[in-house]
A and B are shown apart, each in its own frame.
Chain A
Amino acid sequence: MSEPLFPPVIVGAGPAGIRAAERLVAAGLRPVVVDEAARWGGQIYRQPPDGGFTRPKTALYGFEAGKADAVHRAMAAIRDRVDYRPRTLVWNCEAGALDLLSDGASETLPFSNLILATGATDRVLPFPGWTLPGIFTLGGSQVALKFQGCAVGRRVAFLGTGPLLYLVAYQYLKAGVEVAGVFDTTPFAAQARATAGMLRDPATLAKGLLFVGWLRAHGVPIHNGVRPVRAEGAERVDALVWRDARGHERRTGCDAVAFGLGLRSETQLADLAGCRFRFDEADRAWLPERDGAGRSSVAGVYLAGDGSGISGADAAELAGERAALALLEDLGRPVEAARVKELDGRLARIAAFRRSLSAAFPFPADWADAIADDTMICRCEGITAGAVREVARSGQAREMNRAKALTRAGMGRCQGRMCSATTAELLSRTLGTGPDGVGRLRAQPPIKPLPVSAGAERREVA
């Protein structure tokens, strides 16, 4: 088997990317690791910036401190055997090469093999007032605390669903911040039912119960089956108005709202790399296809971690290593069969647990029906729900890209990251198709804003 022309490239230095790099280094390769952050760790194990931060990892990562530390150490141990490119945005993938942006300059990086470990961000649906200052995603609220030692407000309401909801509320409470309440969109009964399935992973279940217990013990009201009505405030949020499970409208004063409905994968690079996508019922999203080992539909392109389907940090570590082993196998390198088998077994168990978790924190699909026509759905372009419904109702748009072309929803700076879940729900519900019936937004380069000045600042490949 001939050696590949270029070193393998890993995009993302979170748990998946780091474990992939570690495995490739162990096989004697020198991968390039490209990451947008200044320090490795990804979002979940994000490290504080350099310069004067002193909290220990137990304070930053709680129960996960051991895992975070292990991941950080793994990368530190191979630091001089990888070509590590922090503070580097991958803005394009084209014809066997990535385009990078760092320090304002663009550089083209060819690859023979590529592992995409691009991670995820919060999935959101809109409600009136959701763009007010003081309203952040759950993940963002956690970043503020972990990465900056800041709370997003003095009195914070936690709204949405998913494991992050209770975790971040708990972390805020422990940091001494007043938690105005946890407003869970999931009905209590659904959560109780799903708990049985979560017994597959007692440790995770125990943590979840502990968060809830801790919050209750400290007098934090927890409400199930909630729907947001609106956020109030002129220049910043000063209250969350919500509807309880019995349909009564209630108002909770707060100066911040942390909000999210689970996570959504960052799939743009997989799309530009030409990967085939499929609709995933559990994630309610189009995801790049990957086999159990992380192979995409494109030879030489591998997918690992939350960037190609939400399965959490533990799975990301395993999947990163598994994708690296697949890459090595495909290069004709010897790989340890027992290790492959072990990883496959553990990944399968996590996948089963994830299904229970999805059941415990279901996507509140009816929320989309309740979005008023004048509610802004696209933060970038200021497009309303009514505009999207109108192009669907009038027969002008039967899929996502057409709706984007006609309404501009998803056309702004974020390329639909924040609105495409909403647009898909609005379109599919207006048209009466399933959520898979309206397609997905095509990725377009640059996948994040690219300074015009980079055109004159091209760096030759080292």
Chain B
Amino acid sequence: MALLQRVAEQGRRVVRFTLDGRPVEALEGDTILTAMLTNGDRLRRTEFADTPRAGFCMMGACQDCWVRTEEGERLRACGTFIADGMRLLSGGEWTS
């Protein structure tokens, strides 16, 4: 279930990426945070308690929105734009 709801600016080009292996869509100009949270309800699970997080400050201060790619990269979701072909993960890397 999407956490963020689009209320404007929906005429942008569609960007295709995968979220936990599932092909999904976002819009050009979306941050990774927007792209993930319009397709799901979390960005990651925490290291120490395996609890879900979905960002907090959206302006690069809280550092709560770091997400992983399948390639192992770590990106700050609120400050990085989505791009075609990104393969993003929202699960914990700690419990698997």
Which residues from chain B contact A36 at a C-beta distance below 8 Å? 60, 79
Q: In whole Å, how far is A256's beta carbon from the nearest beta carbon of chain B?
A: 8
**B59 near A143: Cβ-Cβ < 8 Å:** yes
**A50 near B29: Cβ-Cβ < 8 Å:** yes
Q: In whole Å, how far is A327's beta carbon from the nearest beta carbon of chain B?
A: 27
Instruction: Using CB atoms, name the residue of chain B closest to A148.
Output: B34
Contact among A54, A150, A412, A417 with B4 in the assembled complex (CB-CB below 8 Å): A150
Which residues from chain B contact A48 at a C-beta distance below 8 Å? 9, 29
**B5 near A136: Cβ-Cβ < 8 Å:** no
**A53 near B49: Cβ-Cβ < 8 Å:** no
Which residues from chain B contact A147 at a C-beta distance below 8 Å? 31
Question: Of A151-159, A184-192, A239-247, A363-371, which binds chain B?
Answer: A151-159
**A136 near B56: Cβ-Cβ < 8 Å:** yes
**A52 near B28: Cβ-Cβ < 8 Å:** yes
**B62 near A381: Cβ-Cβ < 8 Å:** no
Instruction: Using CB atoms, name the residue of chain B closest to A266.
Output: B61
**B7 near A52: Cβ-Cβ < 8 Å:** no
Which residues from chain A contact B91 at a C-beta distance below 8 Å? none
Question: Of A75-83, A127-135, A285-293, which binds chain B?
Answer: A127-135
Which residues from chain B contact A134 at a C-beta distance below 8 Å? 3, 41, 54
**B60-91: contact bitstring with A at CB < 8 Å (1 yes, 0 no)?**
11111010000000001011010000000000
Instruction: Using CB atoms, name the residue of chain A closest to B31.
Output: A148
Instruction: Using CB atoms, name the residue of chain B closest to A379.
Output: B64
A235 to B5, CA, bound (A): 17
B43-59 CB contacts (< 8 Å) to partner A: 43, 46, 48-49, 51-59
A132 to B53, CA, bound (A): 6
Q: Does A250 contact B (CB under 8 A)?
A: no
**A118-149: contact bitstring with B at CB < 8 Å (1 yes, 0 no)?**
00011000000001111111011101110111
**A145 near B7: Cβ-Cβ < 8 Å:** yes
Q: Does B96 contact A (CB under 8 A)?
A: no
**B13 near A122: Cβ-Cβ < 8 Å:** no
Q: In whole Å, how far is A218's beta carbon from the nearest beta carbon of chain B?
A: 16
Q: Which residues of B contact A (CB under 8 A)?
A: 1, 3-13, 27-31, 34, 37-38, 41-43, 46, 48-49, 51-64, 66, 76, 78-79, 81
List 6 other contacts, CB 8 Å, given A36-B79, A55-B9, A418-B61: A52-B9, A54-B11, A132-B52, A148-B30, A153-B4, A413-B64
Q: Which residues of A contact B (CB under 8 A)?
A: 36, 38, 43, 48-55, 59, 121-122, 131-137, 139-141, 143-145, 147-154, 175-177, 235-236, 255-256, 266, 379-382, 412-414, 417-418, 448-449
